Amino acid sequence: MQSLMQMLEGRARAVDSLLCVGLDPHPADLPTPTPEAAKDFCLRLIQATAPVAAAFKPNAAFFEALGAAGMAAMGEVIAAIPPGIPVILDAKRGDIASTAEAYAQAAFDVWGAHALTLSPYLGRDALEPFLRSPERGAFLLCKTSNPGAADLQDLKLAATGQPLFEQVARLAQAWNTHDNLGLVVGATHPDSLRRVRAAAPELWILAPGVGAQGGDLAAALRAGLRADGLGLLVPVSRAISRAEDPAQAAQSLVQAMRSSRAEGLGQAAALPSQRMALADALLEAGCIKFGQFTLKSGLQSPLYIDLRQLVSFPQVLEQVAAAYLPILRGLAFERLAALPYAAIPIATAISLQGGWPLLYPRKEAKTYGTRAEIEGLYQAGEQVVIIDDLATTGGSKFEAIEKLSAAGLQVRDVVVLIDRQSGAAQALEQAGCRLHAVLTLGEMLDHWEQAGRVEQAHTRAAREFLAGEGSRG
């Protein structure tokens, strides 16, 4: 069974389009304000734009205004949308308990929509009826396109100093456990769109405001696209429906999106990558230091990596967790297995963002209570992926693999934030495991040296030490 976002992504790739066609039968666009006229208006738009539409978005308000017959017409319009094209019902619901259940039943079971726009104001429990099944879901109002959005959405939170809309984005990232929750962020606010994308790097964003509201398409795409050129859905209504040739208007919009996406991806390739931006954040947080340090082995090292510092930098920790996600989504496993101690907060943040359950092998078995060697729920035979902060020689990984294997768990993959390139990958490969790293220390040193962030004397000393470390390993 496909999740809502898998369906949306599949459709977007199939037609190479990010266009969401708005079905808004405004009375001014109808010969007479009747349910039949509203239905005919929408059916013509569907026929004209279906070849290039990534999704359709009926606006419930215009149908509700026509009474019971208008709502029946909306059902016929949704039923006429070709299979495989997601339908986002724009109704902006928000309520609790049995009322929310009834709204979900109406949207999904009665009207046949795949998603619904929702208000986040009532909190997580008000969203649960809409997110229960992965194939149905919601787009959460985050930073809307209207002028009055700032009245509440830009208010700064006392705890973090960040605007409320950013907190909504972070919550949505955590709540998206079934790959069926997105955000609504107006294309009229590209700076806010950029901030939301940073806070929720994986989520799909519905970005209204292009066209009649004055939002700039290219600016919205630059601000809101994910690194893979997807993740942004652009709803357009009047610029298509009021065009002399709606089919041509839709095609022109899609072509403009394709050009902007290609240009944006080309620019992104020329700029420092997101991974190097993360490397800079680690340096600024003091997780990598240069100087003279005595290691546990007694050796003198010109650099010291201490990722335990991440617990004091929640935003960097969030970036770190997000950087693991693309790697993990390409692997097959049931649970994360964090190595104590530095990797436990990292893996917890990954678990919250990706929705994967977590366990960890203890360094020493408990001498009381359950006497557990592994904390967390699991079943023998399940596959786990080890999460750690660093890879040097692989020694700590082998100890964990032994404990996990003794409990009947299978380990094929180890994912770390930084590979020191001192032999861990080769050692793990010989044991039948694959090492995956978000960053390698070598590329980080190259980047910092080229960017002038670390003195060449420090990077040269670090490389010499690492070369010796590899030969000692």
DSSP letters along 72-95, please? HHHHHHHHHSPTTS-BEEEEEE--
Helix (H) or strand (E) holding 70: helix 67-80
pLDDT of residue 268: 43
Per-residue pLDDT band at 105 (split at 50, 70, 90):
very high
pLDDT of residue 80: 97
Residue 414 CA to residue 11 CA, distance in Å, equals: 33
Alpha-carbon distances, residue 355 vs 35, 207, 309, 336, 359 (angstroms):
43, 25, 24, 10, 13
pLDDT of residue 402: 92
As assigned by CATH, the class of the 274-472 domain is alpha beta
pLDDT of residue 423: 84
Give the least confident one: 207-216, 394-403, 445-454.
207-216
Per-residue pLDDT band at 272 (split at 50, 70, 90):
very low
Percent of the chain at pLDDT > 70 equals 93
Q: pTM, whole model, 2 decimals?
A: 0.60
Helix (H) or strand (E) holding 336: strand 335-338
Angle at the Cα of 111 from the Cα atoms of 4 and 79, rounded to 5 degrees: 85
Residue 88 contacts residue 113 (beta carbons within 8 Å) = yes
As a whole number, the mean pLDDT across the chain is: 89
pLDDT of residue 265: 52
- Which of the pair, 18 or 201, is modelled with greater confidence? 18
pLDDT of residue 271: 36
pLDDT of residue 267: 46
Average pLDDT over residues 53-66: 97
Average pLDDT over residues 233-245: 94
Average pLDDT over residues 285-309: 89
Question: Given a cut of 50, is residue 209 above it in pLDDT?
Answer: yes
Q: Which CATH superfamily is domain 4-270 in?
A: Aldolase class I (3.20.20.70)
Residue 65 CA to residue 430 CA, distance in Å, equals: 68
Q: Do domains 4-270 and 274-472 have the same CATH topology?
A: no
Question: Given a cut of 70, is residue 368 above it in pLDDT?
Answer: no
Known catalytic residues are 92
pLDDT tens, 384-431? 999 999 998 878 899 899 999 999 999 999 999 999 988 888 889 888
Average pLDDT over residues 156-164: 84
Would you state the structure tokens that stand for residue 193, as one six-digit string? Answer: 């769109």
Give the least confident one: 47-61, 127-141, 390-404.
390-404
Question: In 329-353, which positions are buried (b, 16+ CB within 10 angstroms) versus exposed (e)?
Answer: eeeebebbbbbeebbbbbbbbbbbb
- Which of the pair, 325 or 251, is modelled with greater confidence? 251
Per-residue pLDDT band at 366 (split at 50, 70, 90):
low
Distance spanning both ends of the chain, measured CA to CA? 47
Per-residue pLDDT band at 469 (split at 50, 70, 90):
low
466 exposure class (CB count in 10 Å sphere: 0-12, 13-18, 19+): buried
Question: Given a cut of 90, is residue 354 above it in pLDDT?
Answer: no
Residue 193 contacts residue 207 (beta carbons within 8 Å) = yes
- Which of the pair, 149 or 271, is modelled with greater confidence? 149
Give the other-Cβ count within 10 Å of 124's Cβ: 11
- Which of the pair, 370 or 195, is modelled with greater confidence? 195
pLDDT of residue 429: 86
- Domain ranges for the chain, please list them: 4-270, 274-472
pLDDT of residue 194: 85
Average pLDDT over residues 99-122: 96
